[in-house]
Amino acid sequence: MPPCFVLSAAMLLALAGCRSMPGAPVQPIGTVQGSGDRSPVAGTTVWVEGVVTADFRSGDGLGGVFVQDAGDGDPATSDALFVAAAPGIGPLPGVGQRVRLHGTALELDTGDGASLTTLQPLRVEALGTGAMAPATMVAAPYAWEAFEGMAVRIEAPLTLASADDAARRGELVLSFDGPLWEPVERAAPGSADAVALADANRQRRLVLDDGRLGQDLPLDTGPLPRAVARARAGSTLDDVTGVVDHRFGDHRIQLTAPPRLTAAPRPAPPQVAGDTRLAAFNVENLFNGDGRGGGFPSERGARTADEFARQLGKQVAAIRALDPHVAALMELENDGHGAGSAVNALVDALNAGLDGAPWRAVDAGQGPGSDAIRVGLVYRHDRVRTVGTPATLTEAPFDTLSRAPLAQAFVALGDDGRRGGPFVVVANHFKSKGCGDAAGADADQADGAACWNATRLESAQRLHAWLETDPTGSGGDRVAILGDLNAYGQETPVAWLRQAGWRDAFEGHPDAYSYRYDGERGRLDHALLSPALAGRLRGAAHWHANADEPRAAGYRNPDSAGTPWRSSDHDPLLLGLDLAP
């Protein structure tokens, strides 16, 4: 047979069975990958040989296989690459097969600025069977790029940082060496420490993927077990085995075998000392439609009456489990205080089955505020009583940006019915971090605080000035600022309030958190106390019933009905104080 020349897919078909020219210049895969982010030979044709270590061609898979060779001796270069399935070339060999490939090296765009060094094959030759042991990892590599495409086995426990995308995309966020913390929870925005923490998070972070590109695929048909996909953050995974891939902005492991899970247990509700308990709950868009069982889907929250019933049931389960005497609420539907309002639907549900209907809501009249969501206060009339009338602040930036705060004075009741001194609870919800139309000082300053930080700082300053005027007229100096300030612990709004004299109820709780964003945990939900009230503090805790739970545990899942788990995306906080006479 005369020598063959690879010219086109059509000619290859005509020359089926023709072997490569003697002395074809097979080169190590490492020289195709190179030591940088992109292949140094992209756009050229190359010959490589190796063993197929993973096959993702079927169904909704990645559309190819990974091939790895024995290496080029350079630890800075990967010894594997992705080989895309190509029509007209014939089937690629399966896992455990040796293969010689002739094709075009290219950088495959895999989304969000990521690319994957790929071989588009022009010719495929099966060479028999082979074996390639996975590389062993015991720590996060300095550079994931040096392992791109390679088979790996991680022999260190990985912490589950988030399973929020497990049901939809088959992805988990994991981390080496324990949990990931929001850098600005631990260090001031823009500081060298915050930058170092962000860099460390990027190196320690790893996405675990199920090797499928589709969405909402059945969990039972992929390599990601249902128990793993539904696990709480803080669980650990061992024996993670797969290939290193680079897609959608992240280096990730495409699983080739199920990992071993050690599930984190669900925590019991915290117990705090003190005779009076204050709580803060972000109820995550509690909208009750038209208040008469219809009007769904509403602007936010539940899409159907059944979903709302489950959402309400989960909120009731969470509030009853914590058993506060006063609770500050965020993200209530701003639909008044009448019989059909969302807040009264919650109060009625809390009172169901209880003698004397002890739960009541503070009625601020209209609003407070004009936003679609508002804050609220609910309380147990058998344990505390209101004093005077509620007060709200609706001036800028609380008119259109931060939600208007609501303040109410209370007194605690002793067992003999006597009343303690007045204390004030202020429910708050500052402007969120989403950028939208943020501009100027409110634009993202690339310091870790995201957008609208200037507005949140102004909100903190205006709130402080307002509270100094004693807006409830109670004459007391025991005041609690509670709620979702949308600022982590070291960001300027919270830091400014501490500098102004407010005491952080979670001072001395270095591991306190209430929220997870992209797998990183921190505090958006705060309790800041006046010095007089801080002196009566006996305990403070967040209940991690929500932030560690996957989205699949929320109210849209009928199986979650009646449980407190993932009643919101924020964890509630609970304070214990001595305020009764």
> What is the structure's pLDDT at 5?
27
Name the pTM for this structure: 0.91
Place of tokens 């940082």: 161
> What is the structure's pLDDT at 24?
64
Q: How many CB atoms lie within 10 A of CB 2?
A: 6
> What is the structure's pLDDT at 214?
81
For residues 394 and 371, the answer to whether their CB atoms sit within 8 Å is no
Q: How many CB atoms lie within 10 A of CB 131?
A: 8
Percent of the chain as helix, strand, coil, to the nearest 5: 20, 30, 50
Cross-strand pairs, 129: 97
278 closest CA partner among 425, 444, 102: 425
What string of pLDDT tens digits covers the 581 residues of the chain? Answer: 333 323 233 323 232 333 444 456 899 999 999 999 999 999 999 999 999 999 999 878 999 999 999 999 999 999 999 999 987 777 888 999 999 999 999 999 999 888 999 999 999 999 999 999 999 999 999 889 999 999 999 999 999 999 998 888 899 999 999 999 999 999 999 999 999 999 999 999 999 999 998 887 777 777 888 899 999 999 999 999 999 999 998 889 999 999 999 999 999 999 999 999 999 999 999 999 999 989 999 999 999 999 999 999 999 999 999 999 999 999 999 999 998 999 999 999 999 999 999 999 999 887 788 899 999 999 999 999 999 999 999 999 999 999 999 999 999 999 888 999 999 999 999 999 999 999 999 999 999 999 999 999 999 999 999 999 999 999 989 999 999 999 999 999 999 999 999 999 999 999 999 999 999 999 999 999 999 999 999 999 999 999 999 999 999 999 999 999 999 999 999 999 999 99
Cross-strand pairs, 209: 171, 254
From the centroid of its chain, how far is CA 209?
16
User: Cα separation of 253 and 78, whole Å?
Assistant: 15
99 closest CA partner among 77, 81, 117, 87: 81
Domains of the chain (ranges; CATH) run 9-132 (2.40.50.140), 137-262 (2.40.50), 276-577 (3.60.10.10)
> What is the structure's pLDDT at 19?
40
> What is the structure's pLDDT at 8?
33
The b-or-e profile of 468-480 (16+ CB within 10 A means b, else e) is eebbbebebebbb
> What is the structure's pLDDT at 336?
92
For residues 364 and 316, the answer to whether their CB atoms sit within 8 Å is no
Structure tokens at 280: 């803060």
